[in-house]
């Protein structure tokens, strides 16, 4: 007769449950590991108002941020994430495990950087308007900093008059910034960018062309506004140097447009008798300050002007430029272009 031992069957059953449970635990732990261990790949996840934990787990799975949607859901629910979900955008990473994901998601929404692009050749007023349109701060607050801000370790270019604004050095570039950045902090980024990219070249080359570093910036701003191509900018710079050397007014239309707060409006009506120190028809020499923030090409054109006998130029509506040696040739070009 075979004697049965019920306790042995129970023991075997318990052992089997332990083995299965252990395997399940190992599997679950593996499913909570990062999708891309030791790698960083950011993903912005939006949590709408009223989002449930189940919906969020599905989103994370579709974005390849979790290995297993159900395992993450169970883990996050045990952690209590469902009651601490916040509406907003979160910057997550495929190198994060479930614990890190939950830690980020139960905190406040991420502050996403704002991408701001300011092209070369904008006046300070134009830059201010763009920054306000991008939702950073008011144009008035930015212009106030352009006129009066002071920074430790950042100085105007040599030759700048006392009290000169930062116009011209507020460099145009693409910036990634905190949406809550202050106008002074943003201007500081621009000035640091200018110093890093252009200051050394201006300081090294200004004496070679007989200008102070600040005058290089001023003339470059006019060249930037007058011409579009690298070739034309070199020739325009050459024309301006010829006029400066002979004491002839620059007669640059863009300086009057700037004085009339019409910078960038190349076809706007203007008067050559408009009373302003920036009117280069009435006043010989350079205007008192930059009229925009010139880029590298315009600055290089002033530091390396094209040698030419031209004394005049005219810009056509299509952007092409005509150059002339004599006033008679220039007037004829103006008439032929229908601009007279």
pLDDT per position as a tens digit, 205-243: 999 999 999 999 999 999 999 999 999 999 999 999 999
Tens-place pLDDT, residues 84-105? 888 999 999 999 999 999 999 9
For 103-133, write each residue's pLDDT tens digit. Answer: 999 999 988 889 999 999 999 999 999 999 9
Same domain (yes/no): 242, 283: yes
Note whether 196 and 302 are same-domain residues.
yes
Question: In the chain, what percentage of residues exceed pLDDT 90?
Answer: 76
Is 313 among the domain residues?
Answer: no
User: Residue 7 domain-assigned?
Assistant: no
Separation between Cα atoms, residue 263 and residue 122, nearest integer Å: 8
Average pLDDT for 328-332: 93
What's the pLDDT at 18? 43
Residue listed under structure tokens 């890190």: 100
Residue 175 shares a structural domain with residue 297 = yes
pLDDT digits (tens, 9 = 90+) for 251-266: 999 999 999 998 877 6
Question: The pTM is what?
Answer: 0.77
Can you give the residue range of the structural domain that contains 175? 117-308
Whether residue 326 lies inside any domain: the answer is no
Residue 170 CA: distances (Å) to CA of 114, 184, 189, 256, 293: 18, 11, 9, 21, 6
185 and 226 together in one domain: yes
pLDDT at 37: 84
The answer on 152 and 126 residing in a single domain is yes
- Tally of CB atoms within 10 A around 44: 11
Residues 264 and 290 both lie in one domain: yes
Task: Identify whether residues 229 and 301 lie together within a single domain.
Answer: yes
pLDDT for the residue numbered 338: 73
Evaluate whether residue 317 is within a structural domain: no
Q: How many CB atoms lie within 10 A of CB 171?
A: 25
Within-domain flag for 37: yes
Measuring CA to CA, how many Å separate 233 from each of 92, 116, 118, 173, 217?
A: 47, 26, 20, 20, 14
* Total domains in the fold of the chain: 2
97 & 121 share domain: no
List, for residues 14-36, the tens digit of each pLDDT value: 444 444 444 445 455 788 999 98
pLDDT score of 11: 46
Per-residue model confidence as pLDDT tens digits over 128-170: 999 999 999 999 999 999 999 999 999 999 999 999 999 999 9
Asked whether residue 215 is domain-assigned, the answer is yes
Q: From CA 335, how far away is CA 340, in angstroms rounded?
A: 5
**Is the same domain home to 274 and 295?**
yes
Q: What is the pLDDT of residue 119?
A: 96
pLDDT of residue 22: 45
pLDDT tens digit string along 281-310?
A: 999 999 999 999 999 999 999 999 999 999
The reply to whether 314 falls in a domain is no
**pLDDT score for 10:** 54
Task: For residue range 37-74, list pLDDT tens digits in order.
Answer: 877 788 999 999 989 999 999 999 999 999 999 999 99
pLDDT of 3 higher than 70 = no
Within-domain flag for 9 = no
End-of-domain residue from the set 48, 78, 105: 105
pLDDT at residue 168, as a whole number? 97
Residue 38 and residue 162 in one domain: no
pLDDT of residue 23: 43
- Exposure string for 236-256, b = 16+ CB within 10 A, e = fewer: bbbbbbbbbeeeeebbbbbbb
Check whether residue 156 and residue 277 sit in a common domain. yes
Q: Please give the pLDDT value at position 335.
A: 87
């Amino acid at each position: 007769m075979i004697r049965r031992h019920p306790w042995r069957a129970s023991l075997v059953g318990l052992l089997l449950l332990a083995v299965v449970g252990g395997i399940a635990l190992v599997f679950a732990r593996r499913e909570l590991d990062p999708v891309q261990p030791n790698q960083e790949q950011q993903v912005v996840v939006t949590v709408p108002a009223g989002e449930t934990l189940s919906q969020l787990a599905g989103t994370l799975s579709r974005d390849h941020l979790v290995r297993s949607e159900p395992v993450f859901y169970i883990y996050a629910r045990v952690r209590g994430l469902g009651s601490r979900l916040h509406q907003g955008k979160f910057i997550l990473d495929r190198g994060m495990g479930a614990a890190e994901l939950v830690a980020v998601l139960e905190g406040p929404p991420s502050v996403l950087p704002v991408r701001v692009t300011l092209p070369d050749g904008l006046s300070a007023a134009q830059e201010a308007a763009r920054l306000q349109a991008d939702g950073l701060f008011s144009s008035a607050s930015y212009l106030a900093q352009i006129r009066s801000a002071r920074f430790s370790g950042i100085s105007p270019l040599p030759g700048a008059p006392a009290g000169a604004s930062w116009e011209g050095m507020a460099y145009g570039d693409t910036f990634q910034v905190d949406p809550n950045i202050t106008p002074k902090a943003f201007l500081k980024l621009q000035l640091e960018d200018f110093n890093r990219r252009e200051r050394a070249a201006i300081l090294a080359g200004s004496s070679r062309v007989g200008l102070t570093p600040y005058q290089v910036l001023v003339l470059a701003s006019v060249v930037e506004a007058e011409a579009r191509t690298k070739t034309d900018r070199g020739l325009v710079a050459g024309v301006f140097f010829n006029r400066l050397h002979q004491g002839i007014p620059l007669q640059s239309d863009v300086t009057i447009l700037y004085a009339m707060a019409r910078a960038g409006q190349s076809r706007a009506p203007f008067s050559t008798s408009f009373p302003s120190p920036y009117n280069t028809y009435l006043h010989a020499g350079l205007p008192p300050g930059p009229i925009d923030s010139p880029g590298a090409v315009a600055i290089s054109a002033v530091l390396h002007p094209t040698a030419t006998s031209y004394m005049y130029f005219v810009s056509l509506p299509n952007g092409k430029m005509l150059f002339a040696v004599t006033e008679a040739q220039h007037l004829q070009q103006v008439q032929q272009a229908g601009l007279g």
